[in-house]
Amino acid sequence: MLKLLLLTVVFTLFGVKESNAYWDFPNLKWSEGSTINEPVGPENAIYCRLDNSKQKTVVDGFGPCRIVVDRVTPEHMGYWRIRYAVPGMVAAQYDYFHVEVLTPAVEPKLVVTSSVVRNDTSVVVTCSVPQEHEIVSCTFRNPGGDFFVASQQEETGTRYSSVAGPHNCSLRFLVPEEEQAGIWRCAVQTIRGTGYSFPLIYNSMLNPENDDYIRDPVLQARKTIVEGSEGGATTMFCSIDASIRYCYFRSPNGTVINLSPSTSTADYEYLGNGLEAGECGIRVKNLQPSDQGRWSCNIAQVGYVSEERETITVYVNDGTTVEHRWIDSGVVVSMRMGYLPLEYCRFVRNDGLGFVSDNVPSEYIFNDFMTGAWSQELKGICELTIPRPQAVDLRPWTIVAKVVGEDTERSVRTTFDPRSVSGGSSSTCAIILWCSFGTIFLFLIIVSCLPKKNREWTAARAARIRNSFRRQHHHQPPHIVVNGPHQHIPPPNQHVPPPMPQPIHTDILTDLPRKV
């Protein structure tokens, strides 16, 4: 028994491989950009450890081996090592298999070449296409995002001139400046499609005294914070001054969304001018609370293996809130669309009167949060103040808002309930108190203006009324105690007289003041 135990320990420590547990691992072929979720190795394995081609452990646990890859890239190519154990095996086995990444065939795209030349006091940027293509139009974009157009006829301005020929188009800098240095983008439109190129303008071309520098293309997000309402749509966009090989977005829960110009589903679609233009965007059509959090835009440039990533934060609003209540300066009617930027607001009164936010009647005040340097959380508010509300203003209103980027309007209907509004209750109480104090003060003034005898009569009459209430007796019904020790019980036939009525003080009613 002791020898068997020692033999088991030796097998476990030194990993002796048993021939009856050998498993043949075939080489795998994956397509670049695809998603992998498949088993590998024996189905009855009770332990698995898997190291990828970079010797990084991706699986280590009990049960059969399964490879899960969100997106296949050239970095996954190489030999993978697997360690596994099956029932009846003392030591874990190890083996290798090879992964080959296949690049899908891509339709040849329009090739655009570019050049930058300095001629005396000017700098010329030229973009060209092969002879079999004919240029329809060209655009140039500078590092700051401004666009310049080149047409068949030469256009000359104070700082630039442009012209487009059959196979090339050019932009001339008449006044070279340092701000023009950097990576430009030219887009060339032909009958067969559109191609892009990214010419680089050095500092020394603009000013020979400046030093040259080369700035690598950097991935940038158009907005690092975006928002949307539940069930609505939101967009995320990132770009780089280079052609993109592939791009995808990763959601907060780990879901990978691969994108291309042809991507369009019920939940999302691609946005942009194409990967060759260095643009990768997504429109999420049905935003859910689980989509809130940190997203990432991931791209790989043409000719590069490593990826670049930019983080975008998404906020999901909890819907629309409506208010119709009292405030210190009157009544307010408002609708909040979360953080969504608005194009305009419309208000429709209960009697049919309607107006838009830029044409408000004089008796109303529109609180404009759509323009100006307001914080983002106030951009989605339609608010109307009514300084002197009438009865019709307290009835339900219809508020309509047009969200920027949406085709349809959103509308809500208000409900006014003064009992639930703190501002209205305070105003009502204040009015009641002021009316009470005013009435008392006016009564005191009137009494003080009466003649002295009338005042004496008023005081005497008030005193007599007070005394009459004090002299009134409240008669209780007779309380009989049966067989009391000192109880006098009259005979059955003896008549008991009723109680005498109390006199009525008629002087209260007949005592009137005499004429003076």
User: What are 45-54's pLDDT values in tens digits?
Assistant: 888 899 988 8
Residue 297 has a pLDDT of 96
For residue 333, the one-letter residue type is V
Residue 24 has a pLDDT of 73
Rounded to two decimals, the pTM is 0.52
Return contacts of 222-225, CB within 8 angstroms, 24+ apart. 222/281, 223/312, 224/310, 224/311, 224/312, 224/313, 225/312, 225/313, 225/315, 225/376
Please state the domain extents for the chain.
11-102, 113-206, 220-317, 321-420
Q: What is the mean pLDDT of residues 234-248?
A: 92
Provide the pairing of β-strand 308-317 with 225-229.
parallel
Residue 374 has a pLDDT of 61
Band the pLDDT of 198: cuts 50, 70, 90.
very high
What letter does residue 307 receive in the DSSP assignment? -
**Is the predicted pLDDT of residue 451 greater than 70, yes or no?**
no
Band the pLDDT of 12: cuts 50, 70, 90.
very low
**Is the predicted pLDDT of residue 344 greater than 60, yes or no?**
yes
The domain made up of 321-420 has a fold known as Immunoglobulin-like (2.60.40)
Residue 418 has a pLDDT of 63
Which CATH number is associated with domain 220-317? 2.60.40.10
Round to the nearest angstrom and report the end-to-end CA distance of the chain: 138
Provide the pairing of β-strand 28-31 with 93-102.
parallel
Q: Contact at 8 Å (CB) between 180 and 122?
A: no
Phi and psi (nearest 5°) for 255?
Answer: -70, 130
Phi and psi (nearest 5°) for 276?
Answer: -65, -25
The domain made up of 11-102 has a fold known as Immunoglobulin-like (2.60.40)
**Is the predicted pLDDT of residue 254 greater than 80, yes or no?**
yes
3-state DSSP assignment of residue 265: coil
Contacts of 237 (CB under 8 A, 6+ apart): 221, 222, 223, 271, 272, 279, 280, 281, 282
Query: What residues pair up with 78 in beta bridges, in sequence order?
Result: 99
Q: Where are the alpha helices (DSSP H) in 170-303?
A: 203-206
Burial class (CB in 10 A: 0-12, 13-18, 19+), 49: middle
Q: In this predicted model, which residue has the larger pLDDT, 34 or 251?
A: 251
Q: What is the mean pLDDT of residues 468-495?
A: 52
CATH architecture of 113-206: Sandwich (2.60)
Nearest to 248 by CA among 214, 224, 217, 282: 282
Domain 11-102 and domain 113-206, same fold? Reply is yes
Q: What is the pLDDT of residues 286-330, one digit of tens each?
A: 888 889 889 999 999 988 878 899 999 898 876 678 889 888 778
Burial class (CB in 10 A: 0-12, 13-18, 19+), 486: exposed
Band the pLDDT of 21: cuts 50, 70, 90.
very low
